[in-house]
A and B are shown apart, each in its own frame.
Chain A
Amino acid sequence: MSWKRIWKSVAGALAGLAILNAFCAVYHNPSPYQWAEHRATDTIRKPLSYDIQAKEGFCLVQVDENGYSNPPKAGDEEISVLMMGSSHTEGFNMLPGQIVSAVLERELRAAGRTGRVYNIGVSRHIFARNAANMPRALARFRPTDFVVIETSSVVMTSMMVWNAMHDVYPRLPATNIPLSFITHQPLFKRIYKQMLDLLFADADPEQEEGGTLMQLMTPENLELYEQALTEWFALLSEQARAAGVRLIIMYHPHLIPQMDGSFASDTIEPCLAAFRSACEKTGVIFLDLTEAFMRAAEDEHRLPHGFANTAMGIGHLNPTGHRIAAEELCRVILEEEAAVQ
Chain B
Amino acid sequence: MSFVSIPFFVFFAVVLILQCLLRKPRARHVVLLAASYVFYGWWDWRFCGLMLFVTAIAYVTALAIERRRGDKAPLVIGVVAPLAALFVFKYANFFLDGFCALFRIQRASALRIILPVGISFYTFQSLSYTIDVYRGKLRACRDPVRFALYVSFFPQLVAGPIVKANEFMPQLDEDRRPTPARVSRGLTEFFFGAFKKAVLADNIAVFSDAVFGAVGAYGSATVALAVVAYALQIYFDFSGYSDMATGAARCLGYDLPVNFDLPYIARNVSEFWKRWHISLSSWLMQYLYIPLGGNRRGKVRTYVNLMVTMILGGLWHGADMSFVIWGLLHGAALCAHKAYSRRHPPKPGRWRRAAASALTVAWVTLLWVFFRAENMGHAMLILRRLFQFAPGVEQLSVWTIAGVALLAGGTFWCARGCRSQADGVHGRLPDLALGTFWGALGFTLLAGFTIILMYTGVSPFIYFQF
Whether both chains belong to one complex is answered with yes
A6 partner residues in chain B, CB cutoff 8 A: 435
CB 8 Å contact bits of B428-464 with A (1 = contact, 0 = none): 0000001111111111110011011010111000000
Q: Number of residues in A with C-beta < 8 Å to the partner? A: 47
Given A12-B436, A12-B438, A314-B210: A201 touches B456 (CB 8 Å cut-off): yes
The answer to whether A190 has its CB under 8 Å from any CB of chain B is yes
Q: How far is the CB of B11 from chain A (nearest CB, A)?
A: 16
Query: B209, B397, B448: which has the most chain A beta carbons within 10 Å?
Result: B448
> Of A130-138, A152-160, A177-185, A304-312, which binds chain B?
A304-312
Complex CA–CA separation, A259 to B444 (angstroms): 43
The answer to whether A256 has its CB under 8 Å from any CB of chain B is yes
Complex CA–CA separation, A23 to B211 (angstroms): 30
Query: B207, B214, B436, B445: which has the most chain A beta carbons within 10 Å?
Result: B214
Closest to B222 in A: A312
A197 partner residues in chain B, CB cutoff 8 A: 456-457
Complex CA–CA separation, A199 to B213 (angstroms): 26
The answer to whether A297 has its CB under 8 Å from any CB of chain B is yes
Complex CA–CA separation, A314 to B205 (angstroms): 14
Complex CA–CA separation, A303 to B214 (angstroms): 13
A311 partner residues in chain B, CB cutoff 8 A: 206-207, 209-211, 395
Pair A263/B437 contact, Cβ less than 8 Å? no
B451 partner residues in chain A, CB cutoff 8 A: 191, 194
Complex CA–CA separation, A30 to B435 (angstroms): 35
The answer to whether B393 has its CB under 8 Å from any CB of chain A is yes
CB 8 Å contact bits of A246-285 with B (1 = contact, 0 = none): 0000000000111111110000000000000000000000
Pair A201/B439 contact, Cβ less than 8 Å? no
Given A24-B452, A308-B396, A314-B210: A13 touches B444 (CB 8 Å cut-off): yes
CB 8 Å contact bits of A312-334 with B (1 = contact, 0 = none): 11100000000000000000000
A-B contact count (CB 8 A): 132
Of B207, B210, B217, B441, which contacts A12 at CB under 8 A?
B441
Pair A308/B439 contact, Cβ less than 8 Å? no
Pair A10/B398 contact, Cβ less than 8 Å? no
Given A12-B439, A202-B458, A311-B206: A303 touches B393 (CB 8 Å cut-off): yes
A314 partner residues in chain B, CB cutoff 8 A: 206, 210
Complex CA–CA separation, A316 to B440 (angstroms): 38
By size class, the interface of chain B is 35 or more
Pair B444/A20 contact, Cβ less than 8 Å? yes
Pair A258/B216 contact, Cβ less than 8 Å? yes
The answer to whether B293 has its CB under 8 Å from any CB of chain A is no
CB 8 Å contact bits of A63-79 with B (1 = contact, 0 = none): 00000000000000000
The answer to whether A17 has its CB under 8 Å from any CB of chain B is yes
Complex CA–CA separation, A259 to B212 (angstroms): 8
Q: How far is the CB of A204 from chain B (nearest CB, A)?
A: 12
Complex CA–CA separation, A1 to B391 (angstroms): 63
A301 partner residues in chain B, CB cutoff 8 A: 219, 391-394
Closest to B219 in A: A301
CB 8 Å contact bits of B365-398 with A (1 = contact, 0 = none): 0000000000000000100000000011111111
Pair B436/A201 contact, Cβ less than 8 Å? no
**Which residues 8-33 of A sit at the B interface, judged by CB distance below 8 A?**
8-13, 15-17, 19-20, 23-24, 27-28
Complex CA–CA separation, A314 to B454 (angstroms): 18
Pair B436/A8 contact, Cβ less than 8 Å? yes
Pair B217/A257 contact, Cβ less than 8 Å? yes
The answer to whether B6 has its CB under 8 Å from any CB of chain A is yes
Of A9, A194, A260, A261, which contacts B452 at CB under 8 A?
A194
Given A9-B436, A16-B444, A16-B448: A312 touches B210 (CB 8 Å cut-off): yes
Complex CA–CA separation, A180 to B451 (angstroms): 22
Query: A17, A201, A259: which has the most chain B beta carbons within 10 Å?
Result: A259
The answer to whether A198 has its CB under 8 Å from any CB of chain B is yes
Of A9, A198, A309, which contacts B440 at CB under 8 A?
A9
- A-B residue pairs in contact (CB < 8 Å), sample of 22: A8-B435, A11-B437, A12-B437, A12-B440, A13-B440, A13-B444, A16-B441, A20-B445, A20-B449, A23-B449, A194-B451, A194-B454, A257-B210, A257-B216, A258-B216, A259-B213, A259-B214, A259-B381, A301-B393, A302-B393, A309-B397, A310-B207
Closest A-B pairs by Cβ, 10 of them: A16-B444, A12-B440, A261-B216, A257-B217, A311-B210, A257-B214, A197-B456, A12-B441, A20-B448, A12-B437
Known contacts A17-B448, A27-B452, A261-B214; can you find 20 more A-B pairs with CB under 8 A?
A5-B436, A12-B442, A13-B444, A16-B442, A191-B451, A191-B452, A199-B6, A201-B458, A257-B213, A257-B214, A257-B218, A259-B217, A263-B217, A301-B392, A301-B393, A308-B395, A308-B396, A309-B203, A311-B207, A311-B209
* Chain A residues proximal to chain B, CB less than 8 Å: 1, 5-6, 8-13, 15-17, 19-20, 23-24, 27-28, 187, 190-191, 194, 197-199, 201-202, 256-263, 297, 301-303, 306, 308-314
